[in-house]
C-alpha cells in the first residue's frame, strides 16, 4: 500500500483528528515560510516578533504531528514532556488555538501581513481537533506520519 492509498484510506475514516493532523502538516510549511518571509521586516519590529512566534510554532507542530521525530531526534526530556502533553484532541485544539490567536494579534501592529494565512490555517486545525473531541473520537495518528505503532517500533 503506497502513501497515496494510505492517505485516501485515512480520509475515508471521517475521524477529525486525522484531518487536524494533516492540516497541521500543512501548517508546518505555512508557518515556516511565512515566519521566514516576515522575519526580514526590519522597519516593523513587532512583526519580527510575530514571525519568531510563527517559526517557533513550526518546530512545535513538527514534533507534535510527526511522533517518529521524537524518537530519532535528540531532544531534551523537558521538551519531550511538553510535547507529550498534547496527545489528546482537546489539548491539541487548545495549542493550535493559542498559536492562531498569537498570529491574529499581528493584525494590531498596523498593517496586515501574510501571517494572517498562518492564523487561519492554525485555526482550521484547532477546529478539526475540537470537532474530534466533541464527537468523542479518539486521537488517531496518521500511519503515513509515524503514528499507529511505527514510532513505537523504533527504539
5 within a domain of the structure (yes/no) = no
CA distance 17 to 10: 10
pTM of the predicted protein model: 0.85
CA distance 140 to 111: 39
2 within a domain of the structure (yes/no) = no
pLDDT at position 7: 58
pLDDT at position 153: 41
Number of structural domains, the chain? 1
pLDDT at position 41: 82
Range of the domain at 116: 15-153
CA distance 155 to 34: 34
**pLDDT tens-digit readout, 85-116:** 888 899 999 999 999 999 999 988 888 899 99
1 within a domain of the structure (yes/no) = no
Q: Specify the higher pLDDT residue, 35 or 147.
A: 35
97 within a domain of the structure (yes/no) = yes
CA distance 127 to 59: 20
pLDDT at 42 > cutoff 70: yes
133 within a domain of the structure (yes/no) = yes
Spell 89-106 as b/e; 16+ CB within 10 A means b.
bebbbbbbbebbebbbeb
Residue in the block written with cell 475515508: 12
CA distance 90 to 155: 28
Handedness of CA 121, 124, 130, 132 (dihedral sign): negative
89 within a domain of the structure (yes/no) = yes
Amino acid at each position: 500500500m503506497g502513501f497515496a492509498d494510505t492517505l485516501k484510506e485515512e480520509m475515508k475514516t471521517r475521524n477529525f483528528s486525522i484531518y487536524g493532523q494533516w492540516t497541521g502538516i500543512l501548517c508546518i510549511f505555512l508557518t515556516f515560510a511565512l515566519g521566514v518571509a516576515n522575519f526580514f521586516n526590519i522597519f516593523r519590529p513587532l512583526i519580527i516578533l510575530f514571525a519568531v512566534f510563527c517559526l517557533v510554532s513550526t518546530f512545535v507542530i513538527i514534533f507534535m504531528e510527526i511522533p517518529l521525530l521524537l524518537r530519532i531526534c535528540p531532544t531534551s526530556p523537558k521538551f519531550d514532556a511538553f510535547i507529550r502533553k498534547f496527545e489528546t484532541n482537546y489539548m491539541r485544539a487548545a495549542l493550535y488555538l493559542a498559536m492562531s490567536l498569537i498570529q491574529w494579534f499581528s493584525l494590531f501592529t498596523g498593517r496586515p501581513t501574510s501571517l494572517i494565512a498562518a492564523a487561519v490555517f492554525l485555526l482550521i486545525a484547532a477546529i478539526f481537533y475540537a470537532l474530534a473531541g466533541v464527537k468523542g473520537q479518539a486521537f488517531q495518528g496518521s500511519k503515513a506520519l509515524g503514528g499507529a505503532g511505527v514510532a513505537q517500533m523504533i527504539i
